[in-house]
């Protein structure tokens, strides 16, 4: 999923563009990352979820990107 993509070191310094129309609906949790940090340089999505709808979610996608200092673009 998107959390695994963000935390995969193979995406280091890349801007990732997601083609699925709706991203972030499950939020971000502490159990699923590939590594301890977000590696992408930027993240582009069409329609980010404003509120996650998963009981496992600890943060929204927006909160995680801001916390990790990653630029996110939507629209």
- Domains parsed from the chain with CATH numbers: 2-74 (3.50.30.20)
State pLDDT tens for residues 46-70: 999 999 999 999 999 999 999 999 9
State pLDDT tens for residues 1-50: 999 999 999 999 999 999 998 899 999 999 999 999 999 999 999 999 99
HEC string of 12-74 equals CCCEEECCCCEECCCCECCCCCCCCCCCCCEEEECEECCCCCCCCCCECHHHHHHHHCCEEEE
């Amino acid at each position: 999923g998107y959390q695994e993509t963000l935390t995969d070191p193979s995406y280091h310094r890349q801007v990732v563009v997601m083609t699925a129309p709706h991203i972030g609906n499950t939020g971000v949790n502490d159990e699923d990352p590939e590594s301890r940090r977000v590696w992408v340089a930027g993240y582009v999505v069409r329609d980010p979820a404003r509120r996650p709808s998963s009981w496992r979610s600890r943060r929204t996608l927006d909160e995680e990107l801001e916390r990790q200092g990653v630029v996110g673009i939507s629209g």
